């Protein structure tokens, strides 16, 4: 029997399982890039305004580290995609590695792949099917993104290059995940290793771009993310640089297939590290166990939020310089700013922070479902631990964790902003602006809790709700949607601070709604079957 027999059937199975996730992701990425291009054209209608903005961006070390330089100071496309481009590419790389691990190592870990392997399915079919799904998703995302940019008026050449870049970077990190899936028997560890490679690649690129003036520009050549950025879409359109990504992906895939052919089924090549025979007293409660399970993820998010806060705060003093056109202030004010342009900028960025906080909150809640699906919840519930106590442990991590992350970003952004403008009072104002995002974040988290308790098989409802809220926030102001429609999003009721008017009523109302959703979810979990 061929080692690839059954690949087509596994591809169809994977596409059916991800039939909601993949189309939603593709549409969001393409829409966000197109919206960025549309908004940039409104903000910087002339070559002079774009040149002024690029001059400021290319001299800000923090911005260079986060997003890289802009290589054409008058190009609308280069300015429009310098931030959203790398964010979209990284998001696609993350999705690719998740897809590969989900349909290979995770299936082995749960035992489902063993049952499939007992049928007419070849040894290499699961890995091949996962790579085809991840690679196909990357290609379609790049294609749709390129078309969307052409549709809003950006040059076809640069649009094609950035679309191809998305596809190639996604394929490259699908290959990385294929390799890490052979090294360990844990899906979570395999995803973490692949994510670590992506993070290290991003760090190398950041060092090279931020330190180019100190002779360290060569460091970015060591990074697949750096190779993607060196295509320079809408500048010199160096599409041939993508060959490096494809060669890298091919080489890594060859190694992954060699390892897959030699390792034992359901085993990893790296030796397992056994834990202690007896747990410490610190693991004596469900909350302590939940923290142990989620502390690594929380630590990674904490680093990201602190770094993001430093970047946002560092840009406060220069935001007036690159938002020079009359349309710029009007646009920022539509997104929530009502006083000075720096306050408006901070309010918008803190609003974006609320969306990312919601992602962490939902991840923490969804750990409940993964523990239940992997049948690790049943032994816990067979003891004196009640269902509500167990579920509340992870919900507490979600609620408290989002609050701590908001505080960390508020402190880092506030301290940096205060140092930039020389006003110590700025610290408190920015911290408050970060903390007022929490009630809306908790509403999204509450939706995830309600889905877990009332409709666990439709747990994706939480992600769908968040996507809908993001789309309303991104396109509502730009396209003047009816305010009643925009008010569906909890983020529409968050006070725009600093600079805006503080109101306690919407915060209390959102908190009450969040509490109601969580109570409904916990009540549903107490009554439904486990599993």
The pLDDT tens digits of the residues spanning 222-232 come to 899 999 989 98
Q: Are 54 and 70 in contact (CB under 8 A)?
A: yes
Beta strands in 397-470 (DSSP E): none
pLDDT number for residue 137: 95
For residues 444 and 275, give the distance between their C-alpha atoms in angstroms, rounded to a whole number.
36
Of 96, 93, 126, nearest to 108 by C-alpha is 126
Other beta carbons less than 10 A from residue 389's beta carbon = 14
Of 423, 401, 403, 427, nearest to 413 by C-alpha is 427
Q: What is the pLDDT of residues 465-496, one digit of tens each?
A: 887 887 777 666 555 667 777 778 898 888 88
- Least confident segment among 319-323, 335-339, 507-511: 335-339
- Least confident segment among 70-79, 104-113, 146-155, 158-167: 104-113
Query: For all residues of the chain together, what is the average pLDDT?
Result: 83
User: E strand or H helix at 69, and its extent?
Assistant: none
For residues 253 and 110, give the distance between their C-alpha atoms in angstroms, rounded to a whole number.
24
For residues 398 and 506, give the distance between their C-alpha atoms in angstroms, rounded to a whole number.
21
Q: Are 294 and 367 in contact (CB under 8 A)?
A: yes
Of 496, 491, 438, 437, nearest to 467 by C-alpha is 491
Residue 281 makes CB contacts below 8 A (sequence gap 6+) with none
CB burial class (10 A; 0-12, 13-18, 19+) of residue 74? middle
Q: What is the pLDDT of residues 21-31, one digit of tens each?
A: 899 888 888 88
Q: What is the pLDDT of residues 417-463, one digit of tens each?
A: 888 777 778 888 889 999 999 999 999 999 999 999 998 888 878 88
pLDDT above 70 coverage of the chain, percent: 90
Q: Is the pLDDT of residue 328 over 60?
A: no
* DSSP calls for 437-455: THHHHHHHHHHHHHHHHH-
pLDDT number for residue 335: 45
Structure tokens at 71: 């290589």
pLDDT number for residue 337: 43
Task: Tell me which DSSP letter residue 221 carries.
Answer: G
């Amino acid at each position: 029997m061929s080692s690839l027999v059954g690949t087509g059937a596994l591809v169809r199975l994977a596409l059916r399982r991800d039939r909601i996730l993949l189309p939603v992701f593709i549409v969001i990425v393409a829409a966000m890039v197109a919206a960025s291009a549309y908004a940039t054209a409104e903000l910087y209608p002339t070559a002079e305004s774009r040149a002024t903005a690029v001059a400021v961006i290319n001299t800000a070390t923090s911005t260079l580290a986060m997003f890289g330089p802009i290589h054409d100071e008058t190009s609308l496309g280069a300015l429009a995609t310098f931030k959203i481009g790398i964010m979209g590419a990284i998001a696609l790389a993350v999705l690719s590695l998740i897809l590969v691990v989900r349909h290979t190592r995770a299936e082995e870990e749960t035992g489902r792949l063993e049952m499939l392997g007992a049928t007419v399915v070849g040894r290499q079919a699961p890995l091949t099917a996962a790579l085809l799904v991840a690679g196909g998703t990357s290609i379609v995302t790049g294609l749709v993104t390129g078309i969307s940019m052409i549709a809003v008026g950006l040059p076809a050449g640069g649009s094609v290059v950035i679309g191809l870049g998305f596809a190639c970077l996604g394929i490259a990190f699908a290959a990385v995940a294929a390799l890490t899936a052979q090294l360990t028997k844990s899906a979570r560890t395999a995803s973490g290793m692949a994510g670590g490679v992506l993070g290290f690649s991003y760090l190398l690129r950041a060092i090279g771009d931020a330190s180019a003036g100190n002779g360290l520009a060569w460091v970015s050549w060591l990074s697949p993310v750096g190779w993607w950025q060196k295509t320079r879409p809408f500048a010199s359109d160096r599409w041939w640089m993508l060959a490096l990504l494809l060669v890298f992906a091919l080489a890594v895939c060859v190694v992954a297939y060699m390892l897959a052919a030699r390792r034992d089924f359901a085993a990893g090549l790296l030796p397992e590290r056994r834990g202690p025979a007896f747990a410490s007293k610190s693991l004596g409660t469900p909350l302590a166990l939940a923290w142990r399970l989620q502390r690594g993820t929380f630590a990674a998010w904490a680093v990201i939020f602190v770094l993001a806060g430093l970047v946002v705060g560092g840009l406060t003093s220069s935001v007036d310089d690159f938002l020079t056109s009359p349309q710029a202030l009007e646009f920022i004010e539509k997104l929530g700013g009502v006083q000075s342009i720096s306050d408006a900028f901070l309010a918008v960025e803190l609003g974006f922070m609320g969306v990312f906080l919601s992602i962490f909150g939902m991840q923490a809640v969804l750990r409940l479902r993964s523990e239940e699906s992997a049948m690790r919840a049943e032994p816990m519930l067979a003891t004196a631990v009640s269902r509500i106590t167990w579920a509340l442990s992870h919900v507490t991590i979600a609620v408290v964790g989002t609050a701590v992350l908001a505080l960390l970003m508020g402190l880092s952004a506030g301290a940096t902003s205060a140092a930039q403008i020389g006003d110590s009072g700025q610290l408190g104002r920015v911290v408050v602006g970060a903390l007022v995002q929490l009630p809306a974040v908790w509403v999204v988290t509450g939706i995830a809790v309600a889905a877990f308790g009332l409709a666990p098989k439709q747990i994706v409802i939480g992600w769908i709700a968040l996507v809908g809220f993001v789309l309303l926030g991104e396109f509502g102001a730009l396209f003047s949607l009816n305010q009643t429609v925009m008010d569906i999003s909890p983020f529409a009721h968050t006070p725009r601070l600093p600079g805006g008017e503080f109101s306690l009523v919407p915060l209390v109302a959102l908190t009450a709604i969040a509490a109601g959703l969580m109570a409904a979810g916990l009540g549903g979990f107490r009554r439904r079957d486990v599993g």
